A and B are shown apart, each in its own frame.
Chain A
Amino acid sequence: MVNGTDVYGTDTLDKNEFFKRVYQFLGIKYSKFFKMDNLSKLAFLSAEFVLSETPSIGKNIAIILSNNASSLDTDRKYQDSINDSENYYPSPAVFVYTLPNIGIGEISIRHQLKSENGFFVFENYNTNFHYHYENNLLQNNKCNSVLAGWVNVDEDSYEAFLYLVSETGEIEHTEQKLKQLYNE
Protein backbone atom coordinates (compact mmCIF):
# COMPACT_ATOMS: atom_id res chain seq x y z
CA MET A 1 0.00 0.00 0.00
CA VAL A 2 1.38 3.43 -0.98
CA ASN A 3 -0.29 6.61 0.27
CA GLY A 4 -3.40 4.66 1.21
CA THR A 5 -3.74 2.89 -2.14
CA ASP A 6 -3.12 -0.79 -2.76
CA VAL A 7 -0.43 -1.04 -5.43
CA TYR A 8 0.42 -4.73 -5.40
CA GLY A 9 -1.02 -7.93 -3.99
CA THR A 10 -0.23 -11.61 -4.29
CA ASP A 11 -1.50 -14.86 -2.84
CA THR A 12 1.99 -15.99 -1.85
CA LEU A 13 3.07 -15.34 1.71
CA ASP A 14 6.53 -16.91 1.49
CA LYS A 15 8.87 -13.97 2.01
CA ASN A 16 11.49 -15.05 -0.54
CA GLU A 17 8.93 -15.44 -3.29
CA PHE A 18 7.03 -12.33 -2.23
CA PHE A 19 10.12 -10.09 -2.29
CA LYS A 20 11.10 -11.48 -5.69
CA ARG A 21 7.65 -10.78 -7.11
CA VAL A 22 7.60 -7.23 -5.74
CA TYR A 23 11.04 -6.64 -7.28
CA GLN A 24 9.72 -7.86 -10.64
CA PHE A 25 6.58 -5.74 -10.22
CA LEU A 26 8.71 -2.63 -9.73
CA GLY A 27 10.44 -3.37 -13.04
CA ILE A 28 13.89 -2.36 -11.85
CA LYS A 29 17.19 -3.89 -12.91
CA TYR A 30 19.47 -4.16 -9.91
CA SER A 31 21.20 -7.55 -9.81
CA LYS A 32 22.67 -6.91 -6.35
CA PHE A 33 19.13 -7.20 -4.98
CA PHE A 34 19.31 -11.00 -5.15
CA LYS A 35 22.44 -11.04 -2.99
CA MET A 36 20.79 -9.14 -0.14
CA ASP A 37 19.39 -10.76 2.98
CA ASN A 38 15.64 -10.58 3.56
CA LEU A 39 15.74 -7.57 5.89
CA SER A 40 17.72 -5.57 3.34
CA LYS A 41 15.43 -6.70 0.53
CA LEU A 42 12.37 -5.52 2.45
CA ALA A 43 13.99 -2.17 3.33
CA PHE A 44 15.20 -1.74 -0.25
CA LEU A 45 11.81 -2.50 -1.83
CA SER A 46 9.91 -0.30 0.63
CA ALA A 47 12.27 2.60 -0.06
CA GLU A 48 11.75 2.12 -3.80
CA PHE A 49 8.03 2.69 -3.42
CA VAL A 50 8.46 5.78 -1.22
CA LEU A 51 11.30 7.46 -3.12
CA SER A 52 9.82 6.80 -6.57
CA GLU A 53 6.78 8.83 -5.44
CA THR A 54 8.99 11.85 -4.78
CA PRO A 55 11.59 12.07 -7.58
CA SER A 56 12.38 15.74 -6.89
CA ILE A 57 13.20 15.25 -3.22
CA GLY A 58 16.98 15.51 -3.78
CA LYS A 59 19.76 13.52 -2.15
CA ASN A 60 19.99 15.06 1.30
CA ILE A 61 17.75 12.40 2.82
CA ALA A 62 18.51 10.99 6.27
CA ILE A 63 17.42 7.41 6.96
CA ILE A 64 16.12 6.39 10.40
CA LEU A 65 14.80 2.86 10.67
CA SER A 66 13.93 0.59 13.55
CA ASN A 67 12.67 -2.91 14.19
CA ASN A 68 12.20 -5.60 16.79
CA ALA A 69 14.29 -8.53 15.51
CA SER A 70 17.43 -6.64 14.48
CA SER A 71 19.23 -8.95 12.00
CA LEU A 72 18.26 -12.12 13.90
CA ASP A 73 16.80 -13.79 10.81
CA THR A 74 20.19 -13.66 9.09
CA ASP A 75 22.14 -14.22 12.32
CA ARG A 76 20.42 -17.62 12.63
CA LYS A 77 21.30 -18.50 9.04
CA TYR A 78 24.93 -17.63 9.69
CA GLN A 79 24.94 -19.55 12.97
CA ASP A 80 23.68 -22.62 11.10
CA SER A 81 26.73 -22.45 8.83
CA ILE A 82 29.18 -22.59 11.77
CA ASN A 83 27.36 -24.87 14.24
CA ASP A 84 28.95 -28.10 13.08
CA SER A 85 32.73 -28.21 13.53
CA GLU A 86 32.87 -31.10 11.01
CA ASN A 87 31.04 -29.03 8.44
CA TYR A 88 32.35 -25.56 9.24
CA TYR A 89 31.96 -23.31 6.22
CA PRO A 90 31.07 -19.76 7.36
CA SER A 91 29.57 -17.83 4.48
CA PRO A 92 31.11 -14.35 3.90
CA ALA A 93 28.06 -13.32 1.85
CA VAL A 94 25.72 -14.13 4.77
CA PHE A 95 28.06 -12.67 7.40
CA VAL A 96 28.08 -9.20 5.83
CA TYR A 97 24.33 -8.96 6.51
CA THR A 98 24.51 -9.82 10.22
CA LEU A 99 23.81 -6.20 11.16
CA PRO A 100 20.42 -4.52 10.68
CA ASN A 101 21.83 -1.24 9.35
CA ILE A 102 23.20 -2.91 6.22
CA GLY A 103 19.74 -2.41 4.70
CA ILE A 104 20.25 1.35 5.11
CA GLY A 105 23.53 0.97 3.24
CA GLU A 106 21.77 -0.81 0.39
CA ILE A 107 19.21 2.01 0.11
CA SER A 108 21.99 4.61 0.25
CA ILE A 109 24.00 2.90 -2.50
CA ARG A 110 20.96 2.54 -4.72
CA HIS A 111 19.92 6.21 -4.33
CA GLN A 112 23.44 7.63 -3.91
CA LEU A 113 22.73 9.05 -0.44
CA LYS A 114 25.61 10.13 1.81
CA SER A 115 23.47 11.32 4.68
CA GLU A 116 22.79 10.86 8.38
CA ASN A 117 21.39 7.46 9.25
CA GLY A 118 20.65 5.18 12.15
CA PHE A 119 19.01 1.84 12.83
CA PHE A 120 17.44 1.26 16.26
CA VAL A 121 15.98 -1.82 17.92
CA PHE A 122 12.80 -1.51 19.98
CA GLU A 123 10.20 -3.93 21.29
CA ASN A 124 7.57 -2.19 19.14
CA TYR A 125 7.43 0.70 16.68
CA ASN A 126 8.30 3.66 18.92
CA THR A 127 6.44 6.71 17.63
CA ASN A 128 7.75 8.98 20.37
CA PHE A 129 11.39 8.20 19.54
CA HIS A 130 10.87 8.45 15.80
CA TYR A 131 8.92 11.70 15.99
CA HIS A 132 11.57 13.47 18.09
CA TYR A 133 14.57 12.03 16.24
CA GLU A 134 13.17 12.97 12.82
CA ASN A 135 12.25 16.47 14.00
CA ASN A 136 15.65 16.93 15.52
CA LEU A 137 17.42 16.06 12.27
CA LEU A 138 15.30 18.51 10.29
CA GLN A 139 15.44 21.34 12.85
CA ASN A 140 19.22 21.09 13.07
CA ASN A 141 19.58 21.14 9.28
CA LYS A 142 21.16 17.71 9.21
CA CYS A 143 19.08 16.91 6.13
CA ASN A 144 16.24 18.18 3.95
CA SER A 145 14.04 15.14 4.53
CA VAL A 146 13.99 11.91 6.50
CA LEU A 147 13.12 8.47 5.19
CA ALA A 148 11.96 6.69 8.32
CA GLY A 149 9.96 3.83 9.70
CA TRP A 150 9.79 0.23 10.84
CA VAL A 151 11.24 -2.70 8.87
CA ASN A 152 11.09 -6.07 10.56
CA VAL A 153 11.80 -9.62 9.37
CA ASP A 154 11.77 -12.63 11.64
CA GLU A 155 11.32 -16.17 10.32
CA ASP A 156 7.98 -16.25 8.49
CA SER A 157 6.80 -12.78 9.48
CA TYR A 158 7.77 -9.54 7.81
CA GLU A 159 6.48 -5.98 8.08
CA ALA A 160 7.46 -2.62 6.63
CA PHE A 161 6.12 0.87 7.30
CA LEU A 162 8.11 3.67 5.67
CA TYR A 163 7.43 7.36 5.26
CA LEU A 164 9.17 10.52 4.20
CA VAL A 165 9.27 13.57 6.50
CA SER A 166 10.18 17.04 5.24
CA GLU A 167 9.49 20.70 6.00
CA THR A 168 7.11 20.84 3.04
CA GLY A 169 5.08 17.64 3.51
CA GLU A 170 1.29 17.61 3.10
CA ILE A 171 0.51 15.59 6.23
CA GLU A 172 1.42 17.05 9.60
CA HIS A 173 4.25 15.19 11.29
CA THR A 174 2.98 14.31 14.75
CA GLU A 175 3.42 11.38 17.05
CA GLN A 176 -0.31 10.66 16.87
CA LYS A 177 -0.30 10.72 13.06
CA LEU A 178 2.58 8.26 12.93
CA LYS A 179 0.68 5.96 15.27
CA GLN A 180 -2.45 6.26 13.18
CA LEU A 181 -0.71 5.59 9.86
CA TYR A 182 1.18 2.63 11.29
CA ASN A 183 -2.03 1.03 12.54
CA GLU A 184 -3.95 1.55 9.27
Chain B
Amino acid sequence: MSNIEDLKLELKKNIIEVLNLEDISLEDFGDNDSLFGDGIGLDSIDALELIVMLDKDYGIRLSDPKEGKKIFESVEVMAAYIAEHRTK
Protein backbone atom coordinates (compact mmCIF):
# COMPACT_ATOMS: atom_id res chain seq x y z
CA MET B 1 0.00 0.00 0.00
CA SER B 2 1.36 3.45 -0.91
CA ASN B 3 1.98 6.13 1.70
CA ILE B 4 -0.98 8.16 0.49
CA GLU B 5 -3.24 5.11 0.79
CA ASP B 6 -1.97 4.53 4.34
CA LEU B 7 -2.62 8.18 5.14
CA LYS B 8 -6.19 8.02 3.81
CA LEU B 9 -6.90 4.94 5.91
CA GLU B 10 -5.38 6.60 8.99
CA LEU B 11 -7.49 9.73 8.38
CA LYS B 12 -10.70 7.72 8.09
CA LYS B 13 -9.96 5.87 11.34
CA ASN B 14 -9.11 9.10 13.15
CA ILE B 15 -12.16 10.96 11.84
CA ILE B 16 -14.48 8.12 12.91
CA GLU B 17 -12.86 7.91 16.35
CA VAL B 18 -12.35 11.61 17.13
CA LEU B 19 -15.76 12.71 15.82
CA ASN B 20 -17.61 9.74 17.37
CA LEU B 21 -19.11 8.60 14.07
CA GLU B 22 -20.46 5.35 15.51
CA ASP B 23 -22.78 4.68 12.60
CA ILE B 24 -20.11 4.97 9.88
CA SER B 25 -17.81 2.05 9.11
CA LEU B 26 -14.49 2.14 7.26
CA GLU B 27 -16.12 0.18 4.43
CA ASP B 28 -18.79 2.87 4.02
CA PHE B 29 -16.27 5.71 4.04
CA GLY B 30 -15.22 6.44 0.46
CA ASP B 31 -12.10 8.46 -0.40
CA ASN B 32 -14.18 10.97 -2.35
CA ASP B 33 -17.23 11.10 -0.08
CA SER B 34 -18.12 14.67 0.82
CA LEU B 35 -17.29 15.12 4.52
CA PHE B 36 -20.07 17.68 5.05
CA GLY B 37 -23.64 17.97 3.85
CA ASP B 38 -25.15 14.87 2.27
CA GLY B 39 -21.95 12.84 2.46
CA ILE B 40 -20.54 11.86 5.84
CA GLY B 41 -22.69 14.60 7.43
CA LEU B 42 -20.16 16.48 9.56
CA ASP B 43 -21.18 19.81 11.15
CA SER B 44 -19.46 23.09 12.04
CA ILE B 45 -18.13 21.80 15.40
CA ASP B 46 -16.66 18.80 13.57
CA ALA B 47 -14.89 21.23 11.25
CA LEU B 48 -13.23 22.86 14.27
CA GLU B 49 -12.20 19.41 15.54
CA LEU B 50 -10.62 18.66 12.17
CA ILE B 51 -8.58 21.88 12.45
CA VAL B 52 -7.36 20.71 15.88
CA MET B 53 -6.59 17.27 14.43
CA LEU B 54 -4.46 18.77 11.64
CA ASP B 55 -2.43 20.69 14.23
CA LYS B 56 -2.14 17.87 16.76
CA ASP B 57 -1.40 14.94 14.45
CA TYR B 58 0.32 16.56 11.48
CA GLY B 59 1.70 19.87 12.75
CA ILE B 60 -0.37 21.90 10.30
CA ARG B 61 -1.85 25.16 11.60
CA LEU B 62 -4.52 26.78 9.50
CA SER B 63 -4.20 30.55 9.87
CA ASP B 64 -7.59 31.07 8.23
CA PRO B 65 -10.36 28.65 9.30
CA LYS B 66 -12.04 29.33 5.94
CA GLU B 67 -9.22 27.34 4.33
CA GLY B 68 -10.78 24.28 5.95
CA LYS B 69 -13.76 24.43 3.64
CA LYS B 70 -11.60 23.42 0.69
CA ILE B 71 -9.18 21.14 2.55
CA PHE B 72 -11.95 19.19 4.26
CA GLU B 73 -13.85 18.48 1.07
CA SER B 74 -13.06 14.76 1.24
CA VAL B 75 -10.48 12.35 2.65
CA GLU B 76 -8.83 12.33 -0.79
CA VAL B 77 -8.33 16.11 -0.71
CA MET B 78 -7.32 16.13 2.98
CA ALA B 79 -4.69 13.44 2.45
CA ALA B 80 -3.15 15.30 -0.49
CA TYR B 81 -2.99 18.54 1.53
CA ILE B 82 -1.48 16.82 4.58
CA ALA B 83 1.11 14.94 2.51
CA GLU B 84 2.28 18.27 1.08
CA HIS B 85 2.20 20.40 4.25
CA ARG B 86 2.79 18.11 7.24
CA THR B 87 5.59 18.97 9.66
CA LYS B 88 5.27 15.81 11.75
Contact = CB atoms under 8 A, between A and B. Distances in A.
Contact of B49 (A29, A31, A34, A91): A91
Nearest to A29: B23
Q: How large is the interface on A (under 10, 10 to 19, 20 to 34, 35 or more residues)?
A: 10 to 19
A35 interface: yes
A93 B22 contact: no
A171 B25 CA distance: 46
Nearest to B50: A92
A92 B48 contact: yes
Contacts of A181: none
B21 A31 contact: yes
Interface in B22-61: 22-23, 41, 45-46, 48-49, 52, 55-56
Contacts of B20: 34-35
Contacts of A35: 19-20, 45
A31 B19 contact: no
A91 B19 CA distance: 11
Contacts of B52: 89-92
A47 B22 CA distance: 22
Interface in A25-59: 29, 31, 34-35
B46 to A, nearest CB: 7
**Which of B19, B20, B56 has the most chain A CB within a 10 Å cutoff?**
B20
A89 B56 contact: yes
Contacts of A96: 45
A31 B41 contact: yes
Contacts of B49: 91-93
5 contacts: A34-B20, A89-B56, A91-B52, A92-B45, A93-B19
